[in-house]
């Protein structure tokens, strides 16, 4: 008997060794190594000082830099705009698609995934072309309708460029969250839904007591996913505005790129990355604590 138990444990260990080793190599080790690099002097402009341990020097440098406070404010405003819209919008659309009497649901289920399926660079290039100052689609339509007398440099104005980034990001990220919510709704037990109808529950009560309770686990996942993606948004914004105008759309992730690949200070870039990772972890904990307030059945 003990031999069978030991053989079973051995097989379990052998079965878990390969996947756990992959997780360590591609997830755990890069995180640990990145944090380690954040405590080193890795400025290529000063090769004689490379690989020197400087403690929290990189953190003090980036926290006192000219861009840190400003970029964090811009990142916060961006997240404040996109996160609620994506979560609430994707939840609303998934509930609409789930309704049995909504005839357009099958067609919309396919169409709504198109923005998410298009590569980020292609999406960003499309939005940049739509709002181009010389031959953009928006300028052309507004000019022909007589709304504007001259073509506008939408991406040259701070707040309009910021709004375009928000619009493009929501367009790109929302479909995936709709897919997550909708997939969870597909597993909703039909007897629970029918019982709520028999009990005469209204739309709001049915949403609160049936849908919201059932969607609670995936609501946590979508909230965390959307928040972490918004904090680290870079490629879409970089292609559309390049961080401009006047660094108005240069979020914190943009300066990670700039410190690492423009200023060639890998230590400062690693410190910023570690800070974003810690910030994301704290937000995940806060989400986990707050999601408990969603009422259970």
Domain for residue 257, yes or no? yes
Residue 31: predicted pLDDT: 85
Highest mean pLDDT of the ranges 34-48, 49-63, 153-167: 153-167
Domain for residue 37, yes or no? no
Rounded CA-CA distance 162/35 in Å is: 31
Whether 263 and 39 have beta carbons less than 8 Å apart is answered as no
Whether 155 and 245 have beta carbons less than 8 Å apart is answered as yes
pLDDT at 6 over 70: no
Helical H segments across 24-149, by residue range: 29-37, 57-63, 68-98, 105-111, 114-117, 120-130, 137-144
Domain extent, residue 250, equals 61-291
Least confident piece of the model among 123-137, 140-154, 190-204, 217-231:
190-204
Domain for residue 269, yes or no? yes
Domain for residue 149, yes or no? yes
Domain for residue 206, yes or no? yes
Domain for residue 21, yes or no? no
Domain for residue 184, yes or no? yes
pTM across the whole model: 0.87
Domain for residue 1, yes or no? no
For residue 265, the cross-strand partners are 43
Could you give the 3-state DSSP secondary structure of residue 265?
Answer: strand
Number of domains in the chain: 1
Please report, for the domain that includes residue 79, its CATH number. Answer: 1.10.3720.10
Residue 296 is classified by DSSP as P
Highest mean pLDDT of the ranges 96-100, 104-108, 162-166: 162-166
CA distances from 35 to 6, 29, 269 (A): 38, 10, 11
Instruction: Over range 13-29, report the average pLDDT.
Output: 77
């Amino acid at each position: 008997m003990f031999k069978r138990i030991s053989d079973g444990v051995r097989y379990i260990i052998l079965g878990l060794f390969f996947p756990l080793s992959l997780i360590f190599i591609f997830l755990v080790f890069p995180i640990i190594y990145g944090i380690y690099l954040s405590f080193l002097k890795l400025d290529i402009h000063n090769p004689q000082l490379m690989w020197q341990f400087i403690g929290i020097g990189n953190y003090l440098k980036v926290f006192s830099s000219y861009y840190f406070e400003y970029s964090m404010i811009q990142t916060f405003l961006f997240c404040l705009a996109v996160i609620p819209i994506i979560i609430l919008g994707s939840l609303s659309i998934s509930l609409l698609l789930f309704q049995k009497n909504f005839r357009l649901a099958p067609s919309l289920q396919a169409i709504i995934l198109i923005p998410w399926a298009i590569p980020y660079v292609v999406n960003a290039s499309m939005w940049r072309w739509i709002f181009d100052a010389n031959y953009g689609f928006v300028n052309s339509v507004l000019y022909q309708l007589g709304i504007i007398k001259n073509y506008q440099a939408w991406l040259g104005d701070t707040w309009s460029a910021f709004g375009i980034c928000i619009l493009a990001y929501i367009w790109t990220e929302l479909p995936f969250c709709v897919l997550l919510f909708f997939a969870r709704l597909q597993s909703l037990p039909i007897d629970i839904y029918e019982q709520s109808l028999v009990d005469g529950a209204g739309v709001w009560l049915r949403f609160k007591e049936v849908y919201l309770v059932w969607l609670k686990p995936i609501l946590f996942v979508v909230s965390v996913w959307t928040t972490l993606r918004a904090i680290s948004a870079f490629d879409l914004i970089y292609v559309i505005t390049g961080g401009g105008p006047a660094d108005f759309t240069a979020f914190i992730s943009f300066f990670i790129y700039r410190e690492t690949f423009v200023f060639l200070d890998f230590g400062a870039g690693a410190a910023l990355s570690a800070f974003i990772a810690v910030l994301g972890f704290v937000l995940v904990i806060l989400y986990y604590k707050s999601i408990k307030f969603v009422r259970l059945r």
